[in-house]
Amino acid sequence: MAYKNFTVETDADGIALVTWDMPDKSMNVFTEEVMDEIDAIIDQVVADDAIKGAVFTSGKKDSFSGGADITMLKKMFDIIQTEKAKDPEKAMQMLFDGAGRMSWLWRKLETCGKPWVSAINGTCMGGAFELSLACHGRVVADSKAVKMALPEVKIGIFPGAGGTQRVPRLTNQQDALQMMTQGSSLTPQRAKALGLVHEVVPPKKLIAAARKMIKDGLKPVQPWDEKGFRLPGGKIYSPAGANLWPAASAILRRETHMNYPGAAAILKCVYEGLLVPFDTALKIEQRYFANVLQTTEAGSMIRSLFVSLQELNKGARRPEGIRPTKFRKVGVIGAGFMGAGIAYVTAKAGIPVVLIDRTQEAAEKGKAHSDNLMTKAMQKGRATAEEKEKLLSLITPSTDYADLEGADLVIEAVFEDSEVKKAATEQAEAHLKPSAVFASNTSTIPITSLAKNSKRPKNFIGIHFFSPVDKMMLVEVIMGKRTGDKALAVALDYVRAIKKTGIVVNDTRGFYVNRCVLRYMQEAYSMLIEGVPPAMIENAAKMAGMPVGPLALTDETAIDLAQKIMKQTIRDLGEKAVDPRHMELIDTMVDKHGRHGRKNGKGFYDYPAKPAKKHLWPELKTLYPQQDADSIDFGELKQRLLVTIALEAARVMEEGIVTDPREADVGSILAFGFAPYTGGTLSYIDGMGVANFVDLANRLRRKYGAQFRVPKLLKEMAENGETFYSRFDPYAKVDKAA
User: Would you list the domain boundaries of the chain?
Assistant: 6-294, 330-508, 514-727
Half-sphere exposure of 407 (CA within 13 A, CB side): 29
Q: Sheet of 6-10: strands edge to edge?
A: 6-10, 15-20, 53-58, 116-120, 137-141, 199-201
Nearest one of 206, 215, 207, 208 to 188, comparing CA atoms: 206
**8-state DSSP, 82:** I
**Contact call for residues 424 and 412 (beta carbons, < 8 A):** yes
18: left (phi over 0), alpha (psi -120 to 50) or beta: beta
- pTM to 2 decimals? 0.93
Domains 330-508 and 514-727 share a fold: no
Quick check: is 198 catalytic? no
Rounded (to 5) percent helix, strand, coil in the chain: 55, 10, 35
Q: For position 95, what pLDDT does the model report?
A: 82
96/289 Cα distance (integer angstroms): 8
Nearest one of 346, 381, 343, 348 to 362, comparing CA atoms: 343
Fold of 514-727: N-(1-d-carboxylethyl)-l-norvaline Dehydrogenase; domain 2 (1.10.1040)
In this structure, the number of other CB atoms found within 10 A of the CB of residue 491 comes to: 26
Q: For position 738, what pLDDT does the model report?
A: 42
> Hey, what CATH class is 330-508 in?
alpha beta
Q: For position 733, what pLDDT does the model report?
A: 63
Encoded amino acid at 276, one letter:
V
Q: For position 736, what pLDDT does the model report?
A: 47
**Contact call for residues 665 and 725 (beta carbons, < 8 A):** no
Strand (E) or helix (H) holding 141: strand 137-141
In this structure, the number of other CB atoms found within 10 A of the CB of residue 57 comes to: 21
- Positive or negative torsion for Cα 293, 295, 298, 299: positive
Q: For position 508, what pLDDT does the model report?
A: 86
* Total residues found in the chain within this entry: 738
> Hey, what CATH class is 6-294 in?
alpha beta
Encoded amino acid at 731, one letter:
Y
21/486 Cα distance (integer angstroms): 35
SS3 at position 121? coil
Strand bridging mode 460-465 / 474-479: antiparallel
Packing angle, helices 360-379 and 337-348, rounded to 10: 60
Q: For position 544, what pLDDT does the model report?
A: 97
Q: Count H helices, E strands: the chain?
A: 32, 19
**Contact call for residues 110 and 134 (beta carbons, < 8 A):** yes
Mean pLDDT in runs of 10 for the chain (738 residues)?
94 96 93 95 97 97 89 70 78 85 96 97 96 98 94 94 97 96 95 97 97 96 95 92 95 95 97 97 96 93 92 94 96 96 97 97 97 96 94 97 96 89 94 95 88 94 94 96 96 97 92 94 97 97 97 94 90 90 96 95 94 95 95 97 98 96 97 96 98 98 96 97 95 58
Q: Which one from 136, 198, 369, 464 is the annotated catalytic residue?
A: 464
In this structure, the number of other CB atoms found within 10 A of the CB of residue 259 comes to: 16
Tell me: cis bond preceding 730? Omega within 30 of 0 counts.
no
